[in-house]
Amino acid sequence: MTVACVARKTKPGAKRKLVLDEFAPYRIVALGHAISGRLARAYRDENITIPEWRVLAVIGEAERVAARDVVKRTPMDKMTVSRAVASLEQKGFVSRAPDETDRRVSMLSLSTEGRKVFDRVAALALEFEDSLLSSLDPEEAAAFRLALEKLEEKARENGE
């Protein structure tokens, strides 16, 4: 895959030809897919899927979270999150309890074993991130993170 210059060569609104290797949304998805595939090896070693890891990560970060909030925090639909939560409960990694203030809301938390799995996979994920970002100098890494934030904000704005 060639690295394309991000600067536009044509004026905005001018007719352009779509070239996938130069199309930013395609490249972002392809990069995400490649990264998820590499990290999936760590998940498989712990007998969890990518959706299960995403749920574990949200719960692990928050300690205790409403099931509905997991959907908001991940790029997954309600059904995928529901299946992942059910599987994690069955494996003994997640427990569910009613919220003290609203009994209709299920609160999720990691079990002792779930915390161990989360800690092991999180360490591998952070190690992988360090390795990936080591190809950038500190200024490039900072610019990359800033660019991601701006793109995420613009994508959310356009989606509303």
Q: Quick one: pLDDT at residue 98?
A: 85
What is the pTM (predicted TM-score) of this model? 0.79
Structure tokens at 68: 């509905």
d(CA 64, CA 99): 10
pLDDT of residue 160: 58
Mean pLDDT, the chain, rounded, equals 88
pLDDT of residue 26: 94
Tens-place pLDDT, residues 21-74: 899 999 999 999 898 888 888 888 889 998 999 999 999 998 899 988 999 998
Most confident region among 7-11, 55-59, 75-79 by mean pLDDT: 55-59
Residue of 3 and 122 predicted with greater confidence: 122
User: What letter represents residue 139's amino acid?
Assistant: E
CATH T-level fold of 47-130: Arc Repressor Mutant, subunit A (1.10.10)
Average pLDDT over residues 79-101: 93
Q: How confident is the model at residue 2 (pLDDT cuts 50, 70, 90)?
A: very low
The least confident of 99-103, 106-110, 119-123 is 99-103
- Map out the domains of the chain as residue ranges: 47-130
Least confident of 43-47, 92-96, 125-129, 147-151: 43-47
> Is 110 within 8 Å of 96 (Cβ atoms)?
no
> For residue 144, which amino acid is it?
F
Give me the mean pLDDT over the 95-117 stretch.
89
- For Cα atoms 98, 103, 105, give the angle at the middle one, nearest 5 degrees: 65
Question: What pLDDT, on a 0 to 100 scale, did the predictor assign at position 65?
Answer: 92
